[in-house]
Structure 1
Amino acid sequence: MKQLYLNYLNTFRGLSREVWWLSLITLINRAGTMVIPFLSLYLTQSLEFSLIDVGWIMSFFGLGSVVGSWLGGKLTDKIGYYKVMLGSLSLTGLLFVLLQYVTTFEGFCASIFVLMLVADMFRPAMFVALSSYSKPENKTRSVTLIRLAINLGFSAGPAVGGGIITSLGYNGLFWVDGITCVLASVLLLNVLHPKKAKVLDSFKVENPISVYTDKAFWIFLIAMMLFGIVFLQYFSSMPLYYKEIHHLSELEIGLLMGINGFVIFLLEMPLIKWLESAKYTKIGLMFFGGILLASSFLVLNLTSWGGVLVIGMLLMTIGEMIAFPFSNAFAMDRAKRGNQGEYMALYSISFSVAHIFGHNSGMQLISKIGFDKTWYIIFGLALLSGVCMLVLRKMLVNETKSE
């Protein structure tokens, strides 16, 4: 057992001090956005908005994320990742505090759009910073550490948020969200200031290729958007399936969803280190991750046995653990052809677009054709993502031959 523990710790060795600090800042930031999981409850119960109103507000939420990711990439290329991250964290903290004073539908649509615009400027800047603070051979594991921080933040945030709502109400939640964002910016100011941080992979492209002319990268973005639409069903449509078809309680649904975070925390870093040493291609691993995700929906239609829910969750989790870190590493590698911020912005936007269409399309399909047929359609979308990966692999091979 001791050797197993030591082997687990060894998978984290070699990562730079700056990557660890960036992970801690990300953890504080993600744990701090604990108002997001409770947003629909706040809007319907405290502000008495209708479900249609909430749907429109969530659309503005997604649109703000798209614009913020794009703007964050542009600003990163112009003024640098450090200033963008610091500005985003500081302003997001202020906007979270102010959001509690918005009570009209129109005002909330505008406010949530601006909040997400500012908040998601952080993402492309953070990815560029991560690339700069990582040695080339450690980039995938560095991404994995950031993912661990995000998962821990998302796991702890709702639990703490529920306690805050119970004791202080929703107003207290907005204040805590704002304060944690400001604390993250203070930490960033003290540990990752350009005079203190050590850059390990710095380069400047003299004649950068525009991401908008990089056809291979666009195929990759389409594949990731489709993957995102499929993946997000586990956080919107799937809980309804657990409740309505398998009659699970809220506690049982929570425990089942908790398998995802627990397995990621326990196994993702060792798995990534092993896959890196096995010398598989990033495209091949992303394809395999997509197949596992697709299978997680297909198995649900094969039997009514309750244990299949655990099998589906494990297939999805393993697929996620493989696909996301290597897709992120591929995007960072590809970004060396042009302006890094521009590339990483579009990578972030692919998931923002998935948020806009993924949740709503799943709900609409379920209401019209039921769960079983919806899972077949979702399975087909996952396979289409895999086809895009195969096309991408062929394009990259042709690129290599022509160079």
Structure 2
Amino acid sequence: MGGLPRQFWFLWTGTLINRLGSFVVIFMAIYLTTQRHFSQSQAGLVIGFYGVGGAIGTTVGGVLADRWGRRPTMLSAQFGAAALMLALGFAYGYWPVLAVTFLLGVVTEAVRPAFSAMMVDVVPDRDRVRAYSLNYWAINLGFALSAVGAGLAAKADYLLLFVIDAGSTLITAVISLIFLAETGPATPSPVRARRSPGIGAALRDRTFVVYLVISLGSIVVMMQHLSTLPIAMAADGLSAATYGWVIAVNGVLIVLGQLFVPKLIEGFDRSRVLALAALIIGVGFGLGAFANTAWFFALTVVIWTLGEMLQSPSNAATVAALSPASLRGRYQGLNSLSWSAGTALAPIVGGFTQEHLGDTALWSGCFGVGALVAIGHLVTGPRRERRIAQLQATPASDAPIRVATPATTPAATPVPPAADDPVTESRV
């Protein structure tokens, strides 16, 4: 933990506080169906609109972070998210809830590109892995504790969820306002912008696009833990507090064991690890068809969390390896958008299946999708490895883009942004 810049620790502290108060999204499905009396399909559409807004917010936030600046983008989005969170708590009626949730997704996700860019700006390359590991640990620790806290708060009053969530976001915004300095370039470079290829350059890489499409299946399955899983548990007579501690198992396992996983899978074929991870995730959710008690649901969470822990570093390594040096930002952007798409699709597809076909069909379908994703990784894996070998044999054509470091932090060697963990990104 030593030797990291002061500004990194302000970012880290803001992350932990924000995640500790991230109550609403965890209990959104239960809130919409029990307090607002929406159907499963309506609740799924509302949560899906959050994902759609998030996809837009990620794109807009990335542009603003480069053109307007990291700090103003973060401050505008954080203060806006706090206000919209309170507005959502007082929103009644289907259409107002849908509209506010969509806007909340836009501003909440707009923070991410600016936050990631600022962290890369202030942390030297030699400390990057350490810094992102610490941030990932804070995210999952906050997720685990907030799941339990949100369950207790929901017992008292669901409005308390929105108040605490807005309050934690507001505290994070104040930390950003007082302690964070701008780290982006003083002025944009129009020449570089004109010469830089667009997102189409990444979309024309069929190997990469096929990988994203296959991985989308795992994302849709994993995101059921925020939409259809709480509804299924409530239908079995389990309380919101019970769901809170059951889902907290996910965060606890990641906090305790994730740092050991990279060493565990070292030397194994990436595609086989991804296939195994997809299969374990499918089995974990598939067992939901037989679960009707808290301990059984907790067991399913343990199983699919193990798959998630294998999937996370393997996915990050694969995306990074498939990204040409001059297009890493665009490739990482497409990867983030695929997670936003999965977050939007998961509650819509899952909610429709749950309402019209039942829980058994839903969880059996999750297992089937996991199995298909595993087969897809095994079939397409050799082509991906050939593509990676070609990229490693080709020297980088462009020098890295350098950005300014803040005067309030130790000098750092600026480098291109590193890939963020997509599972972590999906958890807000």
| Per-residue deviation, residues 334-360 of structure 1 (Å, max 9, x unmatched) | 4852473x5444332211211222234
Residues in 1 aligned to 2:33 and 2:296: alpha-carbon distance in whole angstroms: 34
Could you say if the C-alpha distance between residues 265 and 208 of structure 1 is closer, same or farther in structure 2, counting changes exceeding 3 Å?
same
- Kindly report the root-mean-square deviation, in angstroms, between the aligned alpha carbons of the 2 structures: 4.1
Please name the residue that 1:400 is paired with.
392
- Partner amino acid for 1:188? S
* 1:218 matches 2:209: yes
Could you say if the C-alpha distance between residues 238 and 38 of structure 1 is closer, same or farther in structure 2, counting changes exceeding 3 Å?
closer
TM-score between the two structures when normalised by the length of structure 1: 0.75
Please name the residue that 1:33 is paired with.
22
Could you say if the C-alpha distance between residues 300 and 28 of structure 1 is closer, same or farther in structure 2, counting changes exceeding 3 Å?
closer
Residues in 2 aligned to 1:127 and 1:219: alpha-carbon distance in whole angstroms: 26
Could you say if the C-alpha distance between residues 402 and 45 of structure 1 is closer, same or farther in structure 2, counting changes exceeding 3 Å?
closer
Contact map agreement 1:205 1:337 (CA 8 A) in 2: no
Q: How far off its partner does 1:228 sit?
A: 0.9
Please name the residue that 2:347 is paired with.
359
Residue number among 242, 262, 267 corresponding to 2:257 in the alignment: 267
Residues in 1 aligned to 2:304 and 2:63: alpha-carbon distance in whole angstroms: 33
Could you say if the C-alpha distance between residues 285 and 100 of structure 1 is closer, same or farther in structure 2, counting changes exceeding 3 Å?
same
Residues in 1 aligned to 2:10 and 2:316: alpha-carbon distance in whole angstroms: 19
Please name the residue that 2:222 is paired with.
231
Q: How far off its partner does 1:51 sit?
A: 4.2
Could you say if the C-alpha distance between residues 237 and 119 of structure 1 is closer, same or farther in structure 2, counting changes exceeding 3 Å?
closer
State the identity as a percent. 22
- Partner amino acid for 1:39? M
Number of residue pairs aligned between Structure 1 and Structure 2: 379
Map residues 1-400 of structure 1 onto 2, 5 A cutoff: 17-136=6-125, 138-167=127-156, 169-194=157-182, 207-214=195-202, 215=205, 216-237=207-228, 256-272=246-262, 274=263, 278=266, 286=274, 289-290=277-278, 292-294=280-282, 296=284, 313-328=301-316, 334=323, 337-338=326-327, 340=329, 342-365=330-353, 368=357, 370-371=360-361, 373-384=364-375, 386-387=377-378, 388-400=380-392
Q: How far off its partner does 1:315 sit?
A: 4.3
Residues in 2 aligned to 1:327 and 1:84: alpha-carbon distance in whole angstroms: 28
Q: How far off its partner does 1:249 sit?
A: 5.5
- Partner amino acid for 1:380? A
Further displaced range: 218-227 or 84-93 = 218-227
Residues in 1 aligned to 2:215 and 2:308: alpha-carbon distance in whole angstroms: 12
Could you say if the C-alpha distance between residues 166 and 234 of structure 1 is closer, same or farther in structure 2, counting changes exceeding 3 Å?
closer
Q: How far off its partner does 1:380 sit?
A: 2.5
Residues in 2 aligned to 1:335 and 1:20: alpha-carbon distance in whole angstroms: 31
Please name the residue that 1:8 is paired with.
none
Residues in 1 aligned to 2:237 and 2:11: alpha-carbon distance in whole angstroms: 38
- Partner amino acid for 1:350? S
- Secondary structure, aligned partner of 1:120: helix
Please name the residue that 1:6 is paired with.
none
Could you say if the C-alpha distance between residues 264 and 377 of structure 1 is closer, same or farther in structure 2, counting changes exceeding 3 Å?
same
- Partner amino acid for 1:40? A
Could you say if the C-alpha distance between residues 298 and 368 of structure 1 is closer, same or farther in structure 2, counting changes exceeding 3 Å?
closer
Could you say if the C-alpha distance between residues 28 and 332 of structure 1 is closer, same or farther in structure 2, counting changes exceeding 3 Å?
farther
User: What stretches of structure 1 of length at least 5 have no aligned partner?
Assistant: 1-11, 197-203
Q: How far off its partner does 1:224 sit?
A: 3.5
Q: How far off its partner does 1:120 sit?
A: 0.8
| Per-residue deviation, residues 238-264 of structure 1 (Å, max 9, x unmatched) | 5677788xx795587665544322221
